[in-house]
């Protein structure tokens, strides 16, 4: 198993090193975005996975990091001395400072209260950014440019790529070390049983505030890298979707595995990059994927892989069995069905389509899907969609290990959760 891991790591490293030579500009930009999202998700997971504090408002610290870095870039442009490669530290510093204050408030409560407070704090920042045009530049946002530093030029995308890659590795090493350190142990102790950690003599509120601030600092660092890559910042960064995406990345990837958030970030960022061109409704697919993950694979993709790896090592399961094959077929059928239903419904409900009906004098123009034209009034596309979706779900229900969790006694679980 270890060898597989090493081979995988070697392939990933080779791909990351070779990309600037073989990759085109679009791919390179995509990978930069993935790496930034991965740093953000890793920082977020320190709070979510390690400390067990469900934050739903991390976009605030990310956005603050971006704006702080943009202001510093402008200062450099006007003759400041700050070295460009260290710019993300400005974002991290801003995130840390803000995270200390926000974290102090938010960690007064835990659990769902904590979640609500983080949402409200993020909304507070967003509301301020929306109104304070003098500082945040309003709708248009503010722009800056990258300045060269000493012998290093930062004008090309390749240079940004290297910078982001190096920072990602540094952050990974830092967070991995933190997780292994005694501090990381205390943090996990608070997640498991806070009262007990308190009895051991730790000031848990202080520890939680510090974890929150470190998490916010890493988020701010990711924001700083975004500022360097985009050379601009706007208040859109503070909107709820930013906070939502980092939760999505972490949960889909798996919060219990160190590299889980990275897997999630790579998947959703690529999906957003390609999906946005293919369909107007890519967010809906993402939302459905998220709900399905939460229901059937609460440990996320990374967690599922780790679980399987352990089972293989113990000799309980094959690395890839017929069950997986059936699962993939079921997934493909369900997905195909969803594509048909969602795309055709979405297209015929759009205003554009209504207009084209009117211009064609009441004739419904065909809907183009997967390279074929379908008449939305004929039952064919709807039948394909419904049958495919039904078949996929039927396979899932028929498979014992893919079936949804058995109905558990509601009351006992509630009582347990209350303890």
Partner 1 sequence: METLLVALLNGLIYGLLLFMISSGLTLIFGMMGILNFAHASFYMLGAYLAFTAIHMFGFWGGVVFGTLGVALIGFVCERYLLRHVRRFGHVQELLLTFGLFFAFEEVVKLFYGPYAVAYSVPESLRFTAFHIGEVSYPFFRVLIGLTAIVMFAAIFCLLRFTRIGLVVRAAVLNPTMVQALGYNVSVIFSAMFAVGAGLAGLAGAMGGAYYTTNPNMATELGVIVFVVVVVGGLGSLGGALIASLLIGVLVSAIVYVDVTFGQILSAVGLVSDEVARSTLDVPLSSAAGVLPFLLMLLVLMFRPQGIAGDERA
Phi, psi angles (nearest 5°) of residue 373: -95, 130
Query: Binding mask 38-77 vs partner 1 (x if CB under 8 A, - otherwise)?
Result: --------------x-x-x---------------------
CB of 340 to partner 1, least distance (A): 13
Instruction: Check binding of 358 to partner 1 (CB under 8 A).
Output: no
In angstroms, the CA 307 to CA 314 distance is 11
**Both ends of the chain: CA-CA distance in Å?**
38
Does the protein bind partner 1 through residue 405 (CB under 8 A)? yes
Could you tell me which residues come within 8 angstroms of residue 397 by beta carbon, excluding any fewer than 6 positions away?
A: 403
The answer to whether residue 19 forms part of the interface with partner 1 (CB under 8 A) is no
Nearer to partner 1, 84 or 107 (CB): 107
How would you classify residue 254: left for phi > 0, otherwise alpha for psi between -120 and 50, otherwise beta?
Answer: left
Q: Contact with partner 1 (CB under 8 A): which of 342, 386, 387, 402?
A: 342
Under the binding rule (CB under 8 A), the answer on residue 401 touching partner 1 is no
Long-range CB contacts for residues 110-117, cutoff 8 Å, separation at least 24 = 110/53, 110/194, 111/54, 112/54, 114/53, 114/54, 114/55, 115/54, 115/55, 115/56
Among 13, 276, 295, 329, binds partner 1 (CB under 8 A): 295
Give the tokens for residue 313.
């090592």
Q: Is the CB of 121 or the CB of 213 nearer to partner 1?
A: 121
Pairing of strands 367-369, 232-233: unpaired
Within residues 110-169, the interface with partner 1 by CB under 8 A covers 111-113, 115-117, 119-121, 123-124, 127-128, 130-132, 134-135
Q: Which stretch binds partner 1 (CB under 8 A): 4-12, 84-92, 228-236, 407-415?
A: 407-415
Residue 130 — φ and ψ, nearest 5°?
-65, -40
Check residue 404 for interaction with partner 1 (CB under 8 A). yes
- Report in angstroms how near the CB of residue 280 gets to partner 1 at its nearest: 8
Near partner 1 by CB under 8 A: residue from 21, 358, 370, 410: 410
Interacting stretch for partner 1, rule CB under 8 A, among 151-159, 228-236, 344-352, 389-397? 344-352
Alpha-carbon distance 133 to 49, whole Å?
36
Q: Does 351 help bind partner 1 (rule: CB under 8 A)?
A: yes
Residue 44's closest CA among 123, 52, 187, 238? 52
Tell me the C-alpha distance between 39 and 41, whole Å. Answer: 5
Q: How many residues bind partner 1 (CB under 8 A)?
A: 57
Note whether 21 binds partner 1 by CB under 8 A.
no
Of 53, 64, 41, 38, nearest in space to 212 by CA: 53
Q: State both tokens at 392.
A: 């996929």
Q: Using CA atoms, how far apart are residues 144 and 111, in angstroms rounded to an integer?
A: 40
> Measured between alpha carbons, how far is 56 from 59 in angstroms, rounded to an integer?
8
Compute the chain's Rg from CA coordinates.
24
Rank residues 195 and 314 by Cβ distance to partner 1 and give the closer one: 195
- Tell me the closest approach of the beta carbon of residue 344 to partner 1, in angstroms: 11
- Considering the rule CB under 8 A, would residue 328 count as an interface residue with partner 1? no
The closest of 188, 187, 234 to 208, measured between CA atoms, is 187
Task: Give, as ranges, the residues between 215 and 274 that touch partner 1 (CB under 8 A).
Answer: 240, 244, 247, 251
Question: Site for partner 1 (CB under 8 A): which residue of 153, 156, 350, 399?
Answer: 350
Spatial contact of 271 and 286, defined as CB atoms under 8 Å apart: yes
Q: Rounded CA gap, 202 and 195, in Å?
A: 10
| 346 forms part of the interface with partner 1 (CB under 8 A) | yes
For partner 1, the closer of residues 105 and 202 by Cβ is 105
Which residue lies nearer to partner 1 by CB, 162 or 335? 335
**Site for partner 1 contains 357 (CB under 8 A):** no
Work out how close the CB of 418 gets to partner 1 at its nearest, in angstroms, rounded to a whole number. Answer: 7
- The Cα 218–Cα 168 span in angstroms is 10
Binding-site ranges for partner 1 (CB under 8 A): 52, 54, 56, 105, 108-109, 111-113, 115-117, 119-121, 123-124, 127-128, 130-132, 134-135, 240, 244, 247, 251, 281, 283-284, 286-288, 290-291, 294-295, 298, 342, 345-346, 349-351, 404-405, 407-408, 410-415, 417-418
């Amino acid at each position: 198993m270890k060898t597989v891991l090493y081979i995988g790591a070697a392939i990933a490293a080779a791909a990351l090193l070779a990309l600037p030579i073989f990759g085109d500009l679009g791919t390179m930009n995509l990978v930069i975005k993935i790496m930034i999202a991965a740093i953000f998700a890793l920082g977020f997971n320190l709070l979510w996975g390690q400390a067990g504090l469900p934050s739903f408002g991390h976009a605030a610290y990310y956005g603050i990091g971006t704006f702080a870095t943009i202001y510093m870039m402008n200062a450099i442009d006007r003759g400041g001395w700050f070295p460009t490669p260290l710019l993300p530290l400005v974002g991290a510093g801003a995130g840390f400072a803000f995270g200390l204050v926000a974290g102090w408030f938010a960690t007064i409560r835990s659990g769902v209260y904590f979640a609500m407070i983080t949402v409200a704090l993020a909304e507070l920042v967003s509301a301020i950014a929306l109104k304070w045009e003098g500082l945040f530049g309003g709708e248009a946002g503010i722009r800056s440019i990258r300045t060269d530093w000493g012998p290093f030029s930062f004008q090309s995308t390749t240079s940004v790529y290297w910078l982001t890659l190096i920072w990602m590795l540094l952050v990974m090493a830092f967070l991995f070390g933190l997780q292994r350190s005694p501090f990381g142990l205390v943090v996990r102790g608070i997640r498991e049983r806070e009262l007990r950690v308190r009895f051991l003599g730790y000031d848990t509120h202080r520890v939680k505030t510090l974890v929150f601030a470190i998490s916010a600092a890493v988020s701010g660092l990711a924001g700083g890298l975004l500022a360097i890559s985009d050379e601009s910042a706007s208040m859109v960064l503070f909107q709820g979707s930013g906070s939502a995406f980092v939760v999505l990345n972490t949960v889909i990837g798996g919060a219990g595995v160190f590299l889980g958030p990275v897997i999630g970030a790579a998947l959703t960022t690529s999906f957003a990059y390609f999906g946005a061109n293919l369909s107007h409704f890519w967010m809906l697919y993402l939302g459905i994927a998220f709900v399905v993950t939460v229901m059937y694979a609460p440990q996320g993709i990374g967690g599922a892989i780790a679980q399987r790896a352990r089972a293989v090592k113990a000799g309980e399961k094959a690395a890839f069995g017929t069950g997986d094959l059936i699962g993939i077929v079921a997934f493909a059928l369900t997905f195909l069905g969803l594509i048909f239903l969602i795309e055709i419904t979405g297209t015929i409900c759009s205003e554009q389509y209504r207009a084209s009906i009117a211009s064609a004098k009441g004739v419904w123009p065909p809907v183009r899907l997967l390279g074929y034209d379908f008449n939305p009034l004929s039952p064919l596309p709807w039948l394909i969609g419904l049958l495919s979706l039904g078949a996929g779900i039927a396979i899932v229900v028929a498979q014992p290990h893919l079936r949804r969790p058995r109905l558990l006694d509601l009351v006992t679980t509630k009582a347990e959760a209350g303890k």
